[in-house]
Structure 1
Amino acid sequence: MLEPNGPLPPEIYWRRRAAAIGAVVIALALVIWAAFALLKGGGDHKTDAKASTPASAAATSKAGASGTPDPISAKPSGVAASGAAPAAQGQCPDQSLAVKVTVAQPTYKTGEQPQFGIVITNISSAACERDMGSGLQLVQVQSLDGQRKLWSSTDCFPDGTPDMRTLAPGQQAAFTVTWSGSTSQPNCAGERVPVPAGPYTVVAQLGSVRSSPEPFNIA
């Protein structure tokens, strides 16, 4: 450091330099303290913002427990409900379905039990669901000309276990029905007797959708 020069004693100049340096140090300390105070204030503001989140959550939880959801919690619930695709699709209307019946073999001997296949197809362009329980399906054996009914699957078994099926466009649901070969009447009234040998047809139906008749023989 340069030696002080001047008419006054050197001690005076050293004291002045020390005072000037002290003032600079104090000013610098004040600037650092002010900056720290500002940073600390900003940090406290963030802490308050975070603390308000649990408070809001607690209010929402309390409202939900009372059975009256606040508008904020009700809005996400609405979005979740609208996104539930299966519920929105609903039941398959009759016009979206096609029903086909088949016979396992063209001819059965008297005393044998004919077996029929039922295929239900979603012919629409959208997936849908439908209860296809046995109590809702109708399988009926008729005379060859269709004028006389001999047996119906719902005469003696009108109730059945629900069978809800979801079908994509073009998807099929298949079922099998075995007929005893005997006649039947509504409510299973009267005597059931074996049908005589001859030609017959079988039809299947779900709702108002009816299949084409399929012929078969009993020999």
Structure 2
Amino acid sequence: MLEPTGPLPPEIYWRRRVFAIGAIVIVLALVVWLAIMLLHGGGSSNSTAAATSTSATTGPAAGSATTTPTATSAAAASATPTPSGTVNATAASAPASCPDQSLAVKVTVGQPSYKAGDKPVFGIVITNISTLACSRDMGSGLQQVSVQSLDGQRRLWTSTDCDQGGQPDVRTLNGGQQAAFTLTWSGTTSQPNCAGERVPVPAGSYAVSALFGSIHSSPETFNIS
């Protein structure tokens, strides 16, 4: 059956067979190629759909990660109490109390001479002689100003004899800074607890000095004529 038979030469029949076989091979190749293309196209569509689905899924998640906080959450954040450590640090930075050894006291007289019946004016200056800032209550009841005879043997008047103390007056002084006060004397005598009669001081020469804590000032002299 493989040998060609017919009125034509065998070569013609062999050529026809080869052509038919070639046509069949080409058709099969085309069928295979189309099948591959269809399968490849379907895979690409599925990949594209999967990528689109992934983008759609991840998009909202990324958006939610950058969502702006609402007004309620911002208010809650601002209402968060300040840590106690901050308060303690602020308190720790407040100036310490001024020790006596960090202060100096000076007293001054308004003028060198007064007439009998005048009211001499004294100035008190408290200086922070240290290099560090500190604070101290310098109320009038804590400043003691005294008038004495020049020899210091006779005490005539002291500001705290009749001073009830007054209100606290806390001052903060940096290194080298001063606090100045003014005191007017009635020109009369006094005794502790404001006892006894107060009488005008006679004409003469006197010395005034100041005491604050344990700090004494140098005396300053003046005259009453």
Report the TM-score when normalising by structure 2.
Answer: 0.74
Q: 1: CA distance between counterparts of 2:87 and 2:59? A: 42
2:87 maps to which residue? 80
2:5 maps to which residue? none
1:131 maps to which residue? 137
Shift of 1:37: 4.5
Change (3 A) 1:200 1:94: same
Residue type of the partner of 2:115?
K
Residue type of the partner of 1:138?
Q
CA contact (8 A) 2:96 2:133 kept: no
Q: Secondary structure at the match of 2:140?
A: coil
Residue type of the partner of 1:24?
S
Shift of 1:182: 0.4
Residue type of the partner of 2:131?
S
CA contact (8 A) 2:145 2:210 kept: yes
Shift of 1:12: 7.5
Q: 1: CA distance between counterparts of 2:46 and 2:117? A: 116
CA contact (8 A) 2:139 2:166 kept: yes
Q: 1:218 and 2:217 equivalent?
A: no
Q: 2: CA distance between counterparts of 1:82 and 1:11? A: 86
Shift of 1:27: 2.5
Shift of 1:160: 1.3
- The answer for unaligned runs of 5 or more in structure 2 is 1-24
Shift of 1:42: 6.7
2:176 maps to which residue? 170
1:154 maps to which residue? 160
* Equivalent position to 2:107, from 86, 92, 101: 101
Shift of 1:218: 0.8
Superposed CA offset, 1:98-127 (max 9, x none) = 000000111111111111000010101100
Change (3 A) 1:121 1:9: closer
CA contact (8 A) 1:86 1:128 kept: no
1:69 maps to which residue? none
Larger radius of gyration: 2
2:40 maps to which residue? 20
Q: Percent identity?
A: 57
- The answer for unaligned runs of 5 or more in structure 1 is 65-72
Q: 1:190 and 2:210 equivalent?
A: no
Residue type of the partner of 1:141?
V
Change (3 A) 1:176 1:86: farther
CA contact (8 A) 1:91 1:128 kept: yes
Q: Secondary structure at the match of 2:141?
A: coil
2:147 maps to which residue? 141
CA contact (8 A) 1:122 1:169 kept: yes
Once superposed, what is the RMSD of the aligned Cα atoms?
3.1
Which is further off, 153-162 or 28-37?
28-37
2:22 maps to which residue? none
Q: 1: CA distance between counterparts of 2:138 and 2:196? A: 28
Residue type of the partner of 2:141?
G
Shift of 1:79: 3.1
Change (3 A) 1:183 1:7: same
Q: 1:92 and 2:112 equivalent?
A: no
CA contact (8 A) 2:141 2:166 kept: yes
CA contact (8 A) 1:155 1:184 kept: yes
Aligned length: 195
Residue type of the partner of 2:46?
I
Report the TM-score when normalising by structure 1.
Answer: 0.76
